[in-house]
């Protein structure tokens, strides 16, 4: 998304009583790596492999099984849908830091609020510098983070300043 379009998108998504302090999109490869290695993706892949093996064994020894064919279609369909979701998430996710919260928006016809965290719940951010210029920011209190952001040190500074001002 172009910078001007992204700015309009963020303005449309934030509440009237908030001011956007920082926004950005994650690097696609970071989202892909995280979601591809997630438990749910591994579970879907395992289910698809098991369904394929069961179908092969059944066809070899007993002939075609309608129920196993349906299971195979569902398992392979779930893997395809999971990969479509990862692609959608990687291309359409926008991180927004406002004066009151950290929001993950999904780009659609209008901004869809995917996740929202109040600033006082974020805790101390931990920055992991990437070799490619993109940084990962872990937020242990919410067990989530921002992946593949450009200029992560600026974001850490903003979060620390906002959390200090919230506690005063």
**Mean pLDDT value across residues 30-50:** 93
Assign residue 119 the CATH number of its domain: 2.30.29
Counted domains in the chain: 2
pLDDT band at 1 (very low <50, low <70, confident <90, very high): low
Domain boundary among 65, 87, 109: 87
Mean pLDDT of the residues in the chain: 88
20 and 64: one domain? no
pLDDT of 55 reads 94
- In tens, the pLDDT along 102-155 reads 999 998 878 888 889 998 888 888 999 888 888 999 988 888 889 999 888 888
83 and 99: one domain? no
159 and 110: one domain? yes
* Per-residue pLDDT at 168 exceeds 60: no
pLDDT of 166 reads 63
78 in any annotated domain: yes
* Per-residue pLDDT at 163 exceeds 90: no
pLDDT band at 42 (very low <50, low <70, confident <90, very high): very high
For residue 21, give its domain range.
Answer: 3-26+95-167
82 and 163: one domain? no
Written in H, E and C, the secondary structure of the chain is CCHHHHHHHHHHHCCCCCCEEEEECCCHHHHHHHHHCCHHHHHHHHHHHHHHHHHHHHHHHCCCCHHHHHHHHHHHHHHHHHHHHHHHHHHHEEEEEECCEEEEEECCCCCEEEEEEEHHHCCCCEEECCCCCEEEEEECCCCEEEEEEECHHHHHHHHHHHHHHHHC
82 and 146: one domain? no
Domain boundary among 70, 87, 104: 87
111 and 159: one domain? yes
55 and 80: one domain? yes
83 and 103: one domain? no
The better pLDDT of the pair 162, 135 is held by 135
31 in any annotated domain: no
């Amino acid at each position: 998304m172009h910078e001007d379009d992204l700015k309009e998108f963020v303005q449309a998504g934030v509440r009237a009583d908030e001011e956007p302090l920082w926004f950005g999109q994650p690097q696609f490869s970071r989202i892909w790596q995280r979601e591809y290695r997630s438990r749910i993706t591994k579970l879907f892949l395992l289910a698809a492999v098991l369904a394929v093996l069961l179908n092969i064994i059944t066809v070899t020894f007993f002939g075609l099984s309608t129920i196993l064919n349906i299971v195979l279609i569902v398992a392979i369909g779930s893997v395809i849908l999971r990969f479509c979701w990862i692609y959608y998430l990687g291309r359409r996710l926008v991180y927004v830091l406002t004066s009151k919260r950290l929001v993950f928006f999904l780009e659609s016809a209008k901004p869809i609020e995917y996740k929202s965290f109040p600033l006082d719940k974020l805790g101390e951010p931990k920055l992991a510098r990437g070799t490619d210029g993109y940084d990962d920011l872990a937020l242990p209190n919410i067990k989530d983070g921002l992946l593949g952001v450009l200029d992560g040190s600026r974001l850490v500074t903003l979060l620390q300043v906002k959390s200090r001002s919230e506690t005063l």
